[in-house]
Structure 1
Amino acid sequence: MNMKTIMNKNFAGKKVLLRVDFDIPLTTNDTCLAEPRRKRQTIISDDLRIRASLPTIEYLLKSGAAKIILLAHLGRPKGKFVPAYTLWPIANRLSELLKLKAKFSSPKDEYQISEKIVLLENTRFNPGEEKNDPKYAKKLARLGDSPHGEAGIFVNDAFATCHRAHASTEGITHFLPSYAGLQLEKEVNELSKLLNPARPFVCILGGAKVSEKIKVIENLAQKTDQFLLSGVMANTFLKALGKDVKDSAVADDVLDKAKKLYLELKGKIILPEDLIFGNFEGKQMLLDNSPKDIEKFGNIIMEAKTIFWNGNIGKSEIKPFDKGTRAIAKILARATKKGVITVVAGGDTTGFVDKIGLANKMSYISMAGGAALEFLAGKKLPGIKTLL
Structure 2
Amino acid sequence: MGWQTLDQMDLAGKRVLVRVDLNVPLEGDTVTDDTRIQRLVPTVRDILNAGGKPILLSHFGRPKGKHVPEMSLRKLVPAIEAAFGVPVVFAADCRGPAAQAAADSLADGSVLLLENTRFYAGEEKNDPDLARDFAALADIYCNDAFSCAHRAHASTTGVAHLLPSCAGRLMQAELVALEAALGKPERPLIAVVGGAKVSTKLDLLSNLVEKVDHLVIGGGMANTFLAAQGIDVGKSLAEHDMTDTAADILTKAEKTGCEIVLPTDVVVAREFRENAPHETCAATACPSDAMILDTGPESVTRINALMEQARTLIWNGPLGAFEIAPFGTATFAAARKAAAMTKAGQLVTVAGGGDTVAALNMAGAAHDFTYISTAGGAFLEWMEGKTLPGVAALTQTE
Name the residue aligned to 1:295. Answer: 301
Which residue among 137, 142, 145 is the counterpart of 2:136?
Answer: 142
Q: Kindly provide the amino acid, as one letter, of the partner of residue 228 in structure 1.
A: V
Q: Between Structure 1 and Structure 2, whose CA radius of gyration is higher?
A: 2
Q: Are the counterparts in 1 of residues 209 and 252 from structure 2 also a CA contact under 8 Å?
A: no
Matched, 1:263 2:254: no
Q: Kindly provide the amino acid, as one letter, of the partner of residue 274 in structure 1.
A: V
Name the residue aligned to 1:51. Answer: 38
Q: Kindly provide the amino acid, as one letter, of the partner of residue 331 in structure 2.
A: T
Name the residue aligned to 2:83. Answer: 97
- CA 1:8–1:225: 2 relative to 1, 3 Å: closer
Name the residue aligned to 2:282. Answer: none
- Between the aligned partners of 2:55 and 2:143, the Cα distance in structure 1 is 12
Displacement of 1:261: 0.8
Displacement of 1:95: 2.5
Q: Are the counterparts in 2 of residues 275 and 290 from structure 1 also a CA contact under 8 Å?
A: yes
Name the residue aligned to 2:5. Answer: 5
Q: Are the counterparts in 2 of residues 92 and 103 from structure 1 also a CA contact under 8 Å?
A: no
Name the residue aligned to 2:187. Answer: 199
Q: Kindly provide the amino acid, as one letter, of the partner of residue 4 in structure 1.
A: Q
Name the residue aligned to 1:326. Answer: 332
Which residue among 131, 140, 159 is the counterpart of 1:172?
Answer: 159
- CA 1:43–1:20: 2 relative to 1, 3 Å: closer
Name the residue aligned to 2:343. Answer: 337
Q: Kindly provide the amino acid, as one letter, of the partner of residue 384 in structure 1.
A: V
Displacement of 1:203: 0.1
Name the residue aligned to 1:157. Answer: 144
Q: Are the counterparts in 2 of residues 160 and 367 from structure 1 also a CA contact under 8 Å?
A: yes
Which residue among 341, 354, 357 is the counterpart of 1:347?
Answer: 354
1:334 is paired with a residue whose SS is: helix
- CA 1:279–1:133: 2 relative to 1, 3 Å: farther
Q: Are the counterparts in 1 of residues 44 and 84 from structure 2 also a CA contact under 8 Å?
A: no
Displacement of 1:43: 5.1
Q: Are the counterparts in 1 of residues 315 and 352 from structure 2 also a CA contact under 8 Å?
A: yes
- Between the aligned partners of 1:234 and 1:261, the Cα distance in structure 2 is 12
- Between the aligned partners of 1:249 and 1:83, the Cα distance in structure 2 is 42
Q: Are the counterparts in 2 of residues 212 and 373 from structure 1 also a CA contact under 8 Å?
A: no
Q: Kindly provide the amino acid, as one letter, of the partner of residue 133 in structure 1.
A: D
Q: Are the counterparts in 1 of residues 269 and 292 from structure 2 also a CA contact under 8 Å?
A: yes
Displacement of 1:142: 2.6
Displacement of 1:4: 2.3
Q: Kindly provide the amino acid, as one letter, of the partner of residue 96 in structure 1.
A: A
Name the residue aligned to 2:378. Answer: 371
Displacement of 1:156: 0.5
Name the residue aligned to 1:18. Answer: 18
Q: Are the counterparts in 1 of residues 65 and 122 from structure 2 also a CA contact under 8 Å?
A: yes
Q: Kindly provide the amino acid, as one letter, of the partner of residue 342 in structure 1.
A: T
Q: Are the counterparts in 1 of residues 187 and 311 from structure 2 also a CA contact under 8 Å?
A: yes
**Aligned-residue CA RMSD (Å):** 3.5
Q: Are the counterparts in 2 of residues 278 and 287 from structure 1 also a CA contact under 8 Å?
A: no
Alignment of 1:25-44 (within 5 A): 26=25, 28=27, 42=30, 44=32
Provide structure 2 residue ranges, at least 5 long, that are not aligned to the other structure: 274-288
Displacement of 1:42: 4.8
After superposition, give the CA deviation of every residue in 1:267-325 in whole Å (9 maximum; x if it has no partner): 711223415245348x9754443444333322322332211111233344455544443
After superposition, give the CA deviation of every residue in 1:93-137 in whole Å (9 maximum; x if it has no partner): 332222358799xx9658999962123343334322222222322
Between Structure 1 and Structure 2, the one with more helix by share is: 2
TM-score, structure 2 length as denominator?
0.78
Name the residue aligned to 2:369. Answer: 362
Q: Are the counterparts in 1 of residues 86 and 110 from structure 2 also a CA contact under 8 Å?
A: no
Identity of aligned residues (%): 41
TM-score, structure 1 length as denominator?
0.79
